[in-house]
Amino acid sequence: MSSTSPLSTEERQSRFELRTLLETSRLLIESQDPDFVLNNLLLITMGKLLVPKGMIMIHKPGDEAYFVSKSKGRGWLAEDDEIIADFDQDILDTSVLTGEKYASVFETLGIEKESTIFNLKTSNHHLGFLCLGPKGTKQPLTNHETEFIESLAIISSVAIANSRMFQELRYINRRLDRKVHDLNTLLELSKDFNMMVDRDEIARVFKFAMLGQMLIRTFFFALDVDGEKTIVSISGVTEEPDDIQLEKLFELEDVTHVDGSEECHFLTDNNIELVIGLRFQNEKIAVVGVGPRATKEGYGKEEVNFLQSLGNLALLTIQKTLLLEERIEKHRMEEELSLAKTIQEGLLPNPIPTIKGFDIAAINVSSRQVGGDYFDILKLPDNGNLIAIADVTGKGVPASLLMANLQSMLHALAPIDVTLEDASSRINDIIHENTPADKFITFFWGKLSTDGNLFKYVNAGHNPPMLFRKGTTEPELLEKGGVILGAMPSLMPYESDEVELKSGDLLVCFTDGVTEAMNPDQTEEYEEHRLIECIKKHIDKSSEEIIDEIIRDINRFSDNIQYDDITMIVLRKD
């Protein structure tokens, strides 16, 4: 518009400066890149004043030092140079420094005193200096120019402080994100592990999670299961540790930053940086080792924590699978034992055979699932009957195996025409040869003649059966025989004895589970005299009833606590 009055040079310049200031400030404030801000500040000011040299020095917080962030022109410090410098507070508070007044500052920074230094500062922070060399015209800066640069310096300082804050926030945000990711990994794996029962899979997933989370390629995970130490997953090592090295790994501190003093060449050979021991119920049962991180960051407290957490998670899961297996194994054993019990029960006569002219009853009560007591009543080829009772030393599966062995020998020998004495010797020799020295069998057996009037027996170390003659009060003890089965070879032949059985005579065979039943205080045994008393009291009852009475009496005496197998045969001639 023509009506506009022409502006004076001064006004035009002032407007230009204002516009520059406005545009620059927008540019700088919007930028979050300090480097961009500094570069622009330097270029704008150098261009504005036409100075051939300029430099921006940034104070290193915490250090009494400055580094050269930007440097243009020749002769001054180069970019990235550092100088040590500590200035008084009044210098740091001054906006514009001139060579005349602050010669020492110029000297320290290595610039001519004709130059000008502008302080880069916010209201409470000193950031550094903008150093501008002498003008090409060698003229000093006008007040106007100084004010303009000062304004730019202030705007730039604010922009830098902002972008610094922004960067710090971004850094904090990233750390937070990373933390969230760490927690997520833990959470996710705890869910994943829960669904796994395969130890190899758990160990493999643990490995990959560690490799990914720490950005590493060298890793090992060693486990101690019942004293046996093995590597369960490994990555990036040249050779697995041998047993000696493994032992050493378990002896290290729970958190070991490897420095070579461990004297474990597996660690140094494979560049392992950190070894962590993991405990379960205070016992170290796993060791995890990790190599250098690809990011070269090393292992701080947070990484150690994470490793421990993830390691414990994997370890607990593995522990869980072990317990599960143990339970399955126990369950299987129990099933097998119950099967063994069924088989063993099948080895005892059931139902109890009847013998013409006799009232017979028998009982076997095992204190465990399987036992070592044995009794039998067998028909012989001559129509006579064999009666046997035995007690294997020890209890449980070993005793039941030996008992089964005896049973088969007896059944093999019964149909053959051998004397009780010879048969006893043979059985003794076989058992002696085939069983450990501490396994014996007390054994009593006898042949009831076809007409039932004679009973010939051999007693190999068994509790003597009691023969109650009708009308008498004290029993005869059937003791004749020889040594216990299995203790030594049959050097001396077994002896036998023969007793005549009359109507009303009562024979009671039993194992030591009867006489050695304990009272609740475990101070006293049931013993023969109580057994005899009990039988005498019920002598007129049936064989079945007599057994019931004896069992009842024992249970009363022991308060129903049974420690040993109880076996009895009661036989009365009609």
Partner 1 sequence: MKNFSIAKRQIEDISVLDISGELDAHTASQLENSLKNLIDEQSYRIIVNCSRLEYIASAGLGVFMAYIEDVRSLGGDIKLTNMTDRVYNVFDLLGFPTLYDILDDEKEAVNGF
Binding site for partner 1 (CB under 8 A): 174, 177-178, 181, 185, 188-189, 192-193, 201, 204-205, 207-213, 215-217, 235-236, 294-295, 297
Q: Smaller CB distance to partner 1: residue 236 or 394? A: 236
Least distance in angstroms from the C-beta of 297 to partner 1: 8
Sign of CA dihedral 239, 245, 249, 252: negative
Q: Smaller CB distance to partner 1: residue 220 or 375? A: 220
Q: Note whether 357 and 417 are within 8 A (CB).
A: no
Least distance in angstroms from the C-beta of 190 to partner 1: 10
Q: Smaller CB distance to partner 1: residue 290 or 370? A: 290
Place of tokens 């007129």: 540
Q: Smaller CB distance to partner 1: residue 131 or 205? A: 205
Rounded Cα gap, residues 206 and 196, in angstroms: 12
Structure tokens of 298? 């090393």
Least distance in angstroms from the C-beta of 204 to partner 1: 7
Q: Smaller CB distance to partner 1: residue 201 or 544? A: 201
Q: Note whether 284 and 272 are within 8 A (CB).
A: no
User: CB within 8 A of 183, min separation 6: which ones?
Assistant: none
Q: Smaller CB distance to partner 1: residue 200 or 253? A: 200
SS percent in the chain: helix, strand, coil, step 5: 40, 25, 35
Helix (H, G, I), strand (E, B) or coil at 117: strand
Q: Smaller CB distance to partner 1: residue 180 or 343? A: 180
Q: Smaller CB distance to partner 1: residue 43 or 215? A: 215
Least distance in angstroms from the C-beta of 393 to partner 1: 54
Rounded Cα gap, residues 48 and 142, in angstroms: 12
Phi, psi (deg, nearest 5) at residue 557: -65, -40
Q: Smaller CB distance to partner 1: residue 189 or 404? A: 189
Structure tokens of 336? 């097998």
Sign of CA dihedral 69, 74, 75, 78: positive
Least distance in angstroms from the C-beta of 167 to partner 1: 16
Helix axes 143-194, 34-49, angle to 10 degrees: 170
Q: Which amino acid is at 552?
A: R
Least distance in angstroms from the C-beta of 273 to partner 1: 15
Least distance in angstroms from the C-beta of 368 to partner 1: 45
Least distance in angstroms from the C-beta of 272 to partner 1: 16
Number of H helices, E strands in the chain: 14, 22
Least distance in angstroms from the C-beta of 320 to partner 1: 16
Distances from the Cα of 270 to the Cαs of 235, 236, 240, 260, 264, in angstroms? Answer: 10, 8, 10, 12, 11
DSSP-derived pairing of the beta strands 219-225 and 441-448: unpaired
Distances from the Cα of 245 to the Cαs of 219, 222, 386, 442, in angstroms? Answer: 15, 11, 66, 54
Q: Smaller CB distance to partner 1: residue 174 or 356? A: 174
Least distance in angstroms from the C-beta of 174 to partner 1: 7
Secondary structure E strands in 236-290: 255-257, 274-280, 283-290
Q: Smaller CB distance to partner 1: residue 71 or 317? A: 317
Least distance in angstroms from the C-beta of 182 to partner 1: 9
Least distance in angstroms from the C-beta of 245 to partner 1: 22
Distances from the Cα of 252 to the Cαs of 183, 241, 258, in angstroms? Answer: 28, 15, 10
Secondary structure E strands in 439-496: 441-448, 454-460, 466-468, 476-477, 481-482
Rounded Cα gap, residues 222 and 286, in angstroms: 5
Q: Note whether 116 and 95 are within 8 A (CB).
A: no
Q: Smaller CB distance to partner 1: residue 107 or 188? A: 188
Q: Which of 95, 92, 171, 156 is nearest to 125 (CA)?
A: 92
**Using the 8-state DSSP alphabet, how is residue 465 labeled?**
P
Helix (H, G, I), strand (E, B) or coil at 393: coil
Place of tokens 């194994």: 329
Q: What is the CA radius of gyration of the chain?
A: 51
Least distance in angstroms from the C-beta of 185 to partner 1: 5
Q: Smaller CB distance to partner 1: residue 128 or 289? A: 289
